[in-house]
Amino acid sequence: MKYHSLTKRLFSKKFLHFIILCNLFFNVVIGADPIPSAAPPISGWIPREMNLDRTEIPKNILVVVPVGGLSHLRHILTISNILADRGYNVTLTTKGTFKLSQQYPKINFISLGEVTDFLNNPEFVDLVQGKFNIGKLQNIFKKRFDSYNSTFLQLKVISEIVKPDLFFCDTLNNEPCFDMAWVKNKPFVGIATSVLGLSRVPYKSDPLFECKVSMENESFWERFRCEIISPLKFIWTLRNSFGEFNEVRASYGLPTLKNPFDRWQSSLFLLDNFFGFEMPIPLSPIIQEIGPVLPDYYPPLTPDIEKFLTLHKRTMFVALGSFLFLTPENNAKLLQSIIEATENGIVDGVIWANIVKNRESFPPSITLSNGRIISTSDIFENKNPNIHMASFAPQFAILNHTNTKLFLSHSGAGSAHESLYTGTPILALPITFDQPGNAEKLELAGVALTLDKLNLDVNDILDKIKRIQNDEQIQSSLRRIKTLAIINSNRKYRAADLIEFTLHSSALNQKNINDDNKFDDKLIFKDLITPDTRMGFIKGKYLDVYATALVIFVSILYGILRGLYIIGKLIYVKLFKNEDKEKKE
């Protein structure tokens, strides 16, 4: 009875109108100043209006993204666009020439010089294709610190033009950004898809340290190695290049960095990720979890791909990132797997994106398990009706299509976010950097299976494609995380809010400049800095109190035990010695 009347009410005309109205409001309100979302509960009541007075807030923002290509630009451009909509003058500088001004007409673009061609650097190729170890990072880090000088000088010129009131910095290879902010006496805000070394907990590590992400079920030795030995090895590997890098910085009068995360740690840091995908850990308030940041608009399906997807009800989408690559052997195994997957009906279609530029690293023909030989060029010319090779693929729209049943991905953070948002399970083939860690997190979240680039096997690939589609557990975990991704995607507005607040706070604090003519980050972000950071290590962690409590506890315990011993001894003496005496008598 109750249910009936409820459903009746839910679907009554008035209620439907109300929902439509709410939706209308919701769509209009987001991004603009919020308007109260419903009629007043009692007629005559006055709405609370949320008017943020922006007249006092300085307006120039310089966004700096030195490396990483489009995948690193997406989140930062999305947030910058919100700020531009709110009236800020946002200028983005990046290396290379991306044709973005058409997509983002409200943002100014200035080039930060040429991209260094690291794709052909043998050390980079080895890192991408071979087994990862910390030693290999040494040379990469050296190169990265070498590029500091030129980026810093270029940024100096650009800062003269833009006169930024705030620097918004991608964290990858971007020490020049916070250094220029220091020189110009302006605040900066960092953004990345992982917490890097900013928030360390012992039970979380990373394949970058040759450890598991979650140390929950690891042995004592493993936990010891990952907590003590691997970090020391990492610091040891970095020490030379880091020292040289500090010397270059010192020549510009910049303060020495104690560690690579030193400066990011003391300023607002936006984490473009969300717990559910990211492994949950406690974060200091100065690190704000605001992801997944996804743009509002996406390119639609191309007519080719739309037709393909309509005809193939169980399609697998393959995309391995825009600038990473596999060995020729792995390319051959992957191609063989997708041919066999379609021929054996494990999926009925495959779309493979970003492939044309890698075409020369495929063998001229592929031999299937049953001995048949397939010409690779036929596949590339799309002569196989069930395999579509695409040089451009609108990734989000493909993932969003109901007929896309799984995503074979390098598990870069951006791709993972889109996949989770659209509820598409992932078959991860991580290549390097953060990807092995992402793959492990996705598997922990129960929404992915993982392949090993060093041990790729056709039967294993086919088996996992089958399992992903049939596993009820994966499908239900996916629905759960999809909801989380959708509700959390609204937090990009919070990211923009926090940047506005930083600007305002810094303008109010410009007067409180200290002795060496530098203002204090600690004042700008005082609302987000926990008191323990000011209390020193021992007081901040309450070690003095716990140590005293331990001493008192041990003393009392000792006192009690000592007392019992004395009493016991007395009783013993009274009973047994007296007996002895009696016997003697």
Ligand X SMILES: *[C@@H]1O[C@H](CO)[C@@H](O)[C@H](O)[C@H]1NC(C)=O
Shortest distance in whole angstroms from residue 559 CB to ligand X: 41
Q: Contacts from 231-236 at CB under 8 Å and sequence distance 24+?
A: 233/134, 234/134, 234/209, 235/259
- C-beta of 70 vs 125, nearer to ligand X: 70
User: Cβ 244 to ligand X, closest distance in Å?
Assistant: 8
- How far are the Cα atoms of 269, 407, 431, 491 from residue 272, in angstroms, in the given order? 10, 21, 21, 9
Supply the minimum distance, in Å, between the C-beta of residue 60 and ligand X. 6
3-state secondary structure of 382: coil
Which residue's CB is nearer to ligand X, number 216 or number 378? 216
Under a CB-based contact definition with an 8 Å cutoff, are residues 173 and 144 in contact?
yes
Q: Determine which helix (DSSP H) or strand (DSSP E) holds 248, and give its type and residue range.
A: helix 230-250
Kindly state the DSSP code that residue 110 receives in the 8-state scheme.
E
- Cβ neighbors of 153 (< 8 A, separation 6 or more) are none
Taking CA 144 as the corner, what is the angle to CA 439 and CA 453, rounded to the nearest 5 degrees? 30
Q: Which is nearer to ligand X, 199 or 400 (CB)?
A: 400
CB of 81 to ligand X, least distance (A): 15
φ and ψ at 30, to 5 degrees? Answer: -60, 130
Least distance in angstroms from the C-beta of 50 to ligand X: 26
Rounded to a whole number of angstroms, the minimum distance from the CB of residue 534 to ligand X is 35
Q: Locate tokens 């331990």: which residue?
A: 550
Alpha helices in 448-542 (DSSP H): 458-470, 472-488, 492-509, 521-524, 536-540
Q: Which is nearer to ligand X, 384 or 395 (CB)?
A: 395
Is the CB of 71 or the CB of 214 nearer to ligand X? 214
For residue 422, CA distances in Å to 194, 343, 396, 404, 419 come to 21, 27, 8, 10, 5
The candidate with the shortest Cα–Cα distance to 337, out of 406, 400, 398, is: 406
Residue the block writes with tokens 């704000």: 288
Q: How far is the CB of 339 from ligand X (least distance, A)?
A: 28
| In the complex, minimum distance from the CB of residue 213 to ligand X, in angstroms, rounded to a whole number | 8
Q: Give CA torsion, residues 34, 35, 38, 44, to 10 deg.
A: 140
Instruction: Return residues touching ligand X (CB under 6 A).
Output: 89, 91, 108, 149, 153, 161-162, 214, 216-217, 248, 298, 396-397, 400, 444
* Nearest residue (CB) to ligand X, 188 versus 525: 188
Rounded least distance, CB 248 to ligand X, Å: 4
Q: Please identify, using beta-carbon distances, which residue of 225 and 466 lies nearer to ligand X.
A: 225
Output 261 or 421, the one with its CB closest to ligand X: 421
Cα separation, 577 vs 395, in Å, equals 91
The tokens describing 7, both together, are: 């459903």
Quick one: 142 or 233, whose CB is closer to ligand X? 142
Amino acid residing at 433: F
* Cβ-contact 406, 429 below 8 angstroms: no
In the complex with ligand X, the residue whose CB is nearer, 127 or 162, is 162
Least distance to ligand X, CB of residue 431, Å: 23
